[in-house]
Amino acid sequence: MARIERLDVHAVTVPTDAPEQDGTLDWDSTTIVIVEVRAGGETGIGYTYGDVATGRFVESLLAGVVVGREPLEVRPAWEAMQRAVRNAGRPGLGAMAIQPWTSRSGT
């Protein structure tokens, strides 16, 4: 089985068409953090919304935890990421960096 070779992390801030609000906050842009996982000629994509610091968090604390793992062994990777963020904080930024939204596509 192929192993995860690398993660490519991208944080992109996209302006909204007009100012938006939800009753508690106003904003005029949204930042999406996209993580591309490369393994065996395939690319998996995960994403979350948060500050660009979320992408740096993935690069500094999580990439080393998942590189070298089998890509379809999701639960063990998730558990390892949870352990890795223990002292940095599981809620907030840590929780945003470990999102369950993923898809898979060929390269």
Task: Domain ranges for the chain, please list them.
Answer: 6-106
pLDDT tier at 82, thresholds 50, 70, 90 = confident
Tokens 């060929």: give the residue.
106
Structure tokens at 33: 């953090």
Percent of the chain with pLDDT over 70: 88
Q: How many residues does the chain have?
A: 107
Mean pLDDT confidence for 53-66: 91
For residue 7, what pLDDT is reported? 94
Q: Comparing C-alpha atoms, which of 39, 56, 45, 40 is closest to residue 97?
A: 56
Distance in angstroms (rounded) separating the CA atoms of residues 77 and 23 = 37
Instruction: Report which residue type is found at 33.
Output: V
For residue 92, what pLDDT is reported? 67
C-alpha distances in angstroms, 100 versus 2, 14, 48, 49?
A: 21, 22, 9, 12
Distance in angstroms (rounded) separating the CA atoms of residues 11 and 66 = 19
Instruction: Report which residue type is found at 15.
Output: P
Q: Which CATH superfamily is domain 6-106 in?
A: Enolase-like, N-terminal domain (3.30.390.10)
